[in-house]
Amino acid sequence: MSCTMLRWLLRGGCRPLVGLWALLLPVVSSHGLQQDALTEGRPKLLLVSFDGFRWDYVDRVPMPNFFSIMNDGVMVKQVENIYITKTFPNHYTLVTGLYAETHGIVANEMFDPVLNRSFSIETETMYDPQWWEEAVPLWVSIQKAGGRSGAAMWPGSDVKIRGVFPNQFLRYNASVPFETRVERIIQWFSAPKEEAVDFGVLYWEDPDKSGHLLGPQSLLMDAVIAGIDEKLGFLMNELKKAGIYEKVNLIVTSDHGMVQLSPDHIIELDEYVSRDLYTWVDKSPVVGILPKEGKLDEVYSKLVDANPNMMVYKKESIPAHFHYQHNSRIMPILLEAKEGWTIMQNRSGTFLLGNHGNDNTLPSMHPVFIARGPAFRQNYVKSFMRSVDLYPLMCHILSIPALPNNGSLSNVKDLLLREPTPTVPSARLRVKDNSYAPLVGSLMGVAMVLGFLVVFIKQVTLKQLPSLKHRRREMSQPLLQDLHL
Ligand code: AMP
Ligand code: ZN
Ligand code: ZN
């Protein structure tokens, strides 16, 4: 190395070399190292749903873990979910970005007149893929893009959709404790590089289960809500213990809220229309009515003005803003109880003290939303978003193209630390298929080396000609010279 070059390096001229080295590293290393580096850098995302966690529960009791995520990340005060505000339709929306009429899971209990089949979340019927295949959930897209996913009991995640199960999943079993579900999620995220999941979903039945039994206004709900904060704390700790808390983007949300009901507010259908005239589909507060052959107008006319606390729609007149019309699984007549009311055939059925399912514009039906991690801003509160916007946001975070959906990334981009660029680097997950990457890298490397040599030679040449440089500067500063005189 010449003396001139050494002096130049010591004076700090080597700084551009560091950047150059970083750029050249993938080129000079083996192809394997390059793959590892990309796999290592993959974005990670864990989506958690505490079923029935209403948006305002966070203000009810001290919630140190929820508040820690809010301070460290983002919070959205009002999330408008989708109609009907039931568990299965909303969980499928979160992972597809579609309204229920488009994704096809229009209720927890359904009848499909085309398939001539019924669906219930309480029977094996829910495992028939045909119910789910009007949409493609995010875990399927991730896997088709070369990534990996893991699901701990998310609705639909134990169904083979489009021929695909999540790489890792647990078949639904309500008696599996939260801690066991978390343990599995942690294992899947911290598996060896090529096996580690990029996207995880985690579901827990409370506070929905307790909200139904106790009613959201019950003082006993305080302990249930505080218990959810402890569960979140457990998850955060386990992520920290595994050393992945800072790497994983964590979204904590829910499917819907909950409203208090009263035994004084029951609408009994038997008072208005004979059971012989229709089939009852799904449960209060939104009930599908399938009139018997030729009985549509008769049933409708008996119900339409029957009770001021019950809205009655013919399918074609369901308000457009519900986006709940264009699917054969939506019944010819739809009943919706007003907030706080219950529809039953008579009082012998099960009465719940809390429920959900009503109009998705009602604040009582809205879920909580908080998130933190490398993709998110810190200490940022947004006033409103729609749950359909979460899917494009998650696709963006995971660097995969979003399928056509009812949401929009631009509505929620302010939650992100970095403004999204118009191009989605969808090839990022396709590490194995990316055969042009080494070539492009090598060409960039050669160009950088040539650039470096030109700059270096120029620097050295200029150092050799100080007098010329001096003279040029003097010529360009005539006024300065005058002042000094
Ligand atoms: P709901 O409150 O009626 O909208 O539904 C909530 C209930 O759905 C939960 O309490 C569970 O019993 C049930 N559930 C949740 N996830 C699943 C699942 N993956 N498979 C079957 N049932 C589920
Ligand atoms: Zn639910
Ligand atoms: Zn529920």
Q: What tens digit of pLDDT does each residue of 66-119 get?
A: 999 999 999 999 999 999 999 999 999 999 999 999 999 999 999 999 999 999
Asked if residue 1 is part of any domain, the answer here is no
Q: Give the residue, out of 205, 254, 258, with the most ligand 1 atoms within 8 A of its beta carbon, to mutate for a pocket test.
A: 205
**Domain shared by 78 and 177, yes or no:** yes
Longest Cα–Cα distance of the chain, Å, equals: 111
Minimum CA distance residue for ligand 1 atom 17: 155
Whether 86 lines ligand 1, by a CB cut-off of 6 Å, is yes
Q: Residue 123 catalytic?
A: no
Q: What's the domain range around 241?
A: 44-98+135-258+358-415
Q: Could you tell me the pTM of the whole model?
A: 0.82
Whether 90 lines ligand 1, by a CB cut-off of 6 Å, is no
Helices (H) and strands (E) in the chain, counts: 15, 18
Q: Which ligand gives the minimal distance to the CA of 86?
A: 1
Choosing from 317, 334, 355, the residue where a domain stops is: 355
**Domain shared by 365 and 277, yes or no:** no
**Domain shared by 370 and 312, yes or no:** no
pLDDT tens for each residue of 284-296: 999 999 999 999 9
> What total of structural domains would you count in the chain?
2
Choosing from 371, 392, 415, the residue where a domain stops is: 415
Mean pLDDT of the chain: 85
Whether 151 lines ligand 1, by a CB cut-off of 6 Å, is no
Whether 172 lines ligand 1, by a CB cut-off of 6 Å, is yes
**Domain shared by 291 and 218, yes or no:** no
**Domain shared by 201 and 301, yes or no:** no
Q: Give the residue, out of 49, 53, 54, 87, with the most ligand 1 atoms within 8 A of its beta carbon, to mutate for a pocket test.
A: 87
- Give residue 156 CA to ligand 1 midpoint distance, Å: 10
pLDDT tens for each residue of 2-48: 333 323 332 333 333 323 323 332 332 223 333 333 456 899 999 99
Please name which of 214, 234, 225 lies closest in space to residue 60, comparing C-alpha atoms.
225
Asked if residue 22 is part of any domain, the answer here is no
* Atom number in ligand 1 closest to CA 208: 2
CATH of the domain at 389: 3.40.720.10
**Domain shared by 180 and 230, yes or no:** yes
pLDDT tens for each residue of 152-176: 999 999 999 999 999 999 999 999 9
Whether 206 lines ligand 1, by a CB cut-off of 6 Å, is no
**Domain shared by 406 and 296, yes or no:** no
**Domain shared by 343 and 362, yes or no:** no
Q: Helix 31-40 crosses helix 437-464 at what angle (to 10 degrees)? A: 100
**Domain shared by 381 and 330, yes or no:** no
> Which one is catalytic: 85, 87, 96, 342?
87
Choosing from 395, 415, 435, the residue where a domain stops is: 415
Q: Are strands 286-291 and 278-281 parallel, antiparallel or unpaired?
A: antiparallel
Output b/e per residue, 2-31; b: 16+ Cβ within 10 A.
Answer: eeeeeebeeeeeeeeeeebeeebebbeeee
**Domain shared by 246 and 141, yes or no:** yes
Please name which of 390, 419, 403 lies closest in space to residue 201, comparing C-alpha atoms.
390
* Atom number in ligand 1 closest to CA 91: 16
